[in-house]
Amino acid sequence: MESTPFDLRQTARPIGRLAPSPTGAQHVGNARTYLLAWWSIRSRGGRLILRIEDIDSPRVKTGAAQQAIDDLRWLGLDWDEGPDIGGPNASYVQTERVDLYRDALAQLQRDERVYPCTCTRSDIEAAASAPHVEHEGSLYPGTCAGRSVRDVNSICDQPFAWRFRSNDRDLDFADRVAGLQRANVRRDLGDFVIGKMDGLPAYQLAVVCDDHAMGVTEVLRGDDLLPSTFRQLELYAAFGWSPPTFAHVPLVIGPDGRRLAKRHGDTRLATLRQQGVTAEELVGLLAWSCGLRPTREPVGAKALIADFDLCRVPRQPFVFSVGQVNF
Ligand code: GLU
Ligand code: ZN
């Protein structure tokens, strides 16, 4: 598909996506991000795509894709294309789209934008000198960067991954929530894995191929993915595609200041639903947390479309404790 000129994409109806990973049940933190992504697009009369990001196979749980769909429907969200309703960009399940990713990887191989990396995680940790960003792992020191694609034939039976050869240059983008962002992928993040030895893609490659192929013009997601956006911008440039606009929203954290997780109690939507919490109660709380309503009064997701304004979303994470929804 041809990329659309930047200006035109900003004036046309925006296209957004909800992209759950079926690696576990969706919790309050995911719900807040999906609501924001949905309000942002629906308030401008745009289209939404639901895409199941199930390529990270060891962590994928059976039934979790359907569970994600049920959770999103319970919240009051809808979409114009998705695995349950079909659409012009089918399939909407990443494991059914691997040919697209394999072709993309082959293109990067032809262009020598990737090289086979045989380093193990502990090799990288031992070699990395720079301190690393939380959740980002150690910065890859470029150990295998001297290899070319055909060197894959001489690494014998060693396991390897395809690593993207990033550029040593500053990239910047204007995030709709987080503001101007700047980083140099080679220096700050290091070359990154985009494919496994069997040709299956890593998240970075799959998400760029899908957002481009599906014509997505706005990516709204949690700000834990801000560093990955620079990696993805490198990929957009390598393919010659125009990137979407990005909006990274603060995460939901527990009272201890850490990212919402099991240790904070059971905040899964399915559990809240079983406990009798209504979608309107949860949406009311989350809308209040987003600066969209003065109180936590229950409200349906649809009622907030008309007055939605992304500028009102606070720049700080939302501190959530389970007691807030045990009404
Ligand atoms: N599938 C990812 C997640 O559930 C989201 C990836 C993205 O929005 O780019 O965390
Ligand atoms: Zn390596």
Q: Does 76 share its domain with 130?
A: no
Q: Does 17 share its domain with 118?
A: no
CA distance 307 to 53: 31
The reply to whether ligand 1 has any atom less than 6 angstroms from the CB of 19 is yes
Domain containing residue 140: CATH number: 3.90.800.10
CA distance 132 to 110: 31
CA distance 282 to 244: 30
**pLDDT tens, residue by residue, 35-74:** 999 999 999 999 999 999 999 767 778 888 999 999 999 9
CA distance 298 to 215: 34
Identify whether 228 is part of a domain.
no
Residue 64 Cα distances to 12, 18, 24, 240, 260, angstroms = 34, 15, 6, 35, 19
Answer yes or no: are the C-beta atoms of 126 and 138 closer than 8 Å.
Answer: no
Closest Cα to atom 8 of ligand 1: 221
Domain containing residue 65: CATH number: 3.40.50.620
Q: What is the pTM of this model?
A: 0.93
**pLDDT tens, residue by residue, 238-270:** 999 999 999 999 999 999 999 988 888 899 999
Domain that holds residue 267: 3-95+214-222+245-324
Residue 311: both structure tokens together: 């500028």
The reply to whether ligand 1 has any atom less than 6 angstroms from the CB of 37 is no
The reply to whether ligand 1 has any atom less than 6 angstroms from the CB of 16 is no
Residue 238 Cα distances to 189, 285, 312, angstroms = 17, 42, 35
Q: Is 262 a catalytic residue?
A: yes
